[in-house]
Chain A
């Protein structure tokens, strides 16, 4: 049974168009606030949009060594995966594809696809810098994956009552009934852990080991130019929106207002707040970590925080 509403969901809201506009705007605001923290004027808020448009108009060079279909296809795959995650996230009462059982597991898998698209695209470009970059990207994926799964398990246990739930809808319902997840004291360590997972997942500054432009020339993206690079940059903006949206859906849910448009605005503001605390603030105050430091940090400190919440939730607190 095909529903025309689905087309609207996928293409406009909360699908492709919302991701595009919301993502570029979010990144623009992020850069503006970042500039203010360094006491400069900063780029215009529409700067990411200009960047994207300019890259669309540039020449696309495909290296002789590259595998053409994979090289050009990888960024698009990443974008599609991100839009799919956005479709699965509940925004208070509203969720585009409502009652899917176990969509949390789908989200865990989909979250690795943008990283995988960077890895595949980099590998297809055949550059040694990309080779170093993709090995680093793999390490950063492994680093944030463990704490992320533990956080999701803790929340699933908390919202599931007797068992563990893997449905985003059940989590949204639980928050509508009992208030935002972040107000439960046993979930605060998990929220902190998730706040630290967000920047690594997005690949923004202190954890951007894979794209360290001063060390390895932007790693996997080294051979990209023109439109495919533009789509990769767009993926970065949308990733900021989607991952901070995941945090908002998991921890900052609630009853909402009942009006979809108003809920969407509140959801977007929540994304902004999460972006500020998890990305802008950390990015402005820290220098880039080394690969092994990232790995160690995530598997000890962040995973430890998530474990505390998991144990507390398991004992029914």
Chain B
């Protein structure tokens, strides 16, 4: 009975969890800028969650370094389904300027399915909001798919 409502709510209340995977701090600042009163991500329901267990969208910034790779994957695993993985900035998608560095452990998409790539170095808050909004729509699709598969809720 409530399924429709739950599916709709999934898109309206996406909570974020932010992982810094060796970023230069540029993207982290821009993500926080998207949450400030000026851009006001809360009007779309976004909220920064304190722990991956509460989150719907995992935002990864920075190139995935060899040191942090396992931790990032483990943190993503701790996130309950349905979840979306968003990479922010050019770093997690391509390596950017860190590409030839010895600690670079490859793009995130090598290890997990990435749902949305937000481009830019650093990505602008407007782009971030746009990308996160798309991720929220994908969440709704995922929730529907999960229900149809008869997965646990």
Whether, in the assembled complex, A42 has its beta carbon less than 8 Å from a beta carbon of chain B, the answer is yes
Whether, in the assembled complex, A229 has its beta carbon less than 8 Å from a beta carbon of chain B, the answer is yes
> Which A213-228 residues sit within 8 Å CB-CB of chain B?
213-214, 217-218, 221-226
**Residues on the A chain within 8 Å of B10, using CB:** 54, 57
The answer to whether residues A42 and B13 also contact, given A53-B2, A60-B80 and a CB cut-off of 8 A, is no
> Which B69-88 residues sit within 8 Å CB-CB of chain A?
78, 80-82
> Which chain B residue shows the least CB distance to A233?
B54
Contact with B along A28-56 (1 / 0, CB 8 A): 00010001001111111001011111101
Between A and B, how many residue pairs show CB distances below 8 Å?
96
**Residues on the B chain within 8 Å of A60, using CB:** 80
Q: Are A59 and B152 closer than 8 Å at their CB atoms? A: yes
The smallest beta-carbon distance between A72 and chain B, in angstroms, is 14
Partner of A50, one of B9, B143, B153: B9
**Residues on the A chain within 8 Å of B48, using CB:** 213
Category for how many chain B residues contact A: 20 to 34
Q: Are A40 and B80 closer than 8 Å at their CB atoms? A: no
The smallest beta-carbon distance between A297 and chain B, in angstroms, is 24
**Residues on the B chain within 8 Å of A49, using CB:** 9
The answer to whether residues A53 and B6 also contact, given A41-B40, A43-B42, A214-B50 and a CB cut-off of 8 A, is yes
The smallest beta-carbon distance between A55 and chain B, in angstroms, is 8
**Residues on the B chain within 8 Å of A226, using CB:** 80
Classify the interface of chain B: helix, strand, loop or mixed.
loop
Contact with A along B45-69 (1 / 0, CB 8 A): 1001111011010000000000000
Q: Are A218 and B6 closer than 8 Å at their CB atoms? A: no
**Residues on the A chain within 8 Å of B6, using CB:** 53-54, 56-57
Q: Are B13 and A61 closer than 8 Å at their CB atoms? A: no
The answer for the CA separation of A43 and B15 in the assembled complex, in Å, is: 13
The smallest beta-carbon distance between A209 and chain B, in angstroms, is 14
Interface residues of A (CB under 8 A from B): 31, 35, 38-44, 47, 49-54, 56-61, 129, 213-214, 217-218, 221-226, 229
| Contacts A42-B43, A43-B43, A223-B53 known; 18 new A-B pairs at CB < 8 A | A38-B37, A40-B38, A43-B45, A44-B43, A47-B12, A47-B45, A50-B12, A50-B13, A53-B6, A54-B6, A54-B13, A58-B82, A59-B153, A213-B49, A217-B51, A223-B51, A225-B53, A225-B54
Q: Which 10 A-B pairs have the closest CB atoms?
A: A213-B50, A57-B6, A53-B9, A59-B80, A40-B40, A54-B9, A218-B50, A225-B53, A50-B9, A50-B12
A-B contact pairs, 17 of them (CB 8 A): A38-B37, A40-B40, A40-B43, A42-B40, A44-B12, A50-B8, A50-B9, A50-B12, A50-B13, A54-B13, A56-B2, A57-B143, A57-B153, A61-B78, A224-B53, A224-B54, A225-B54
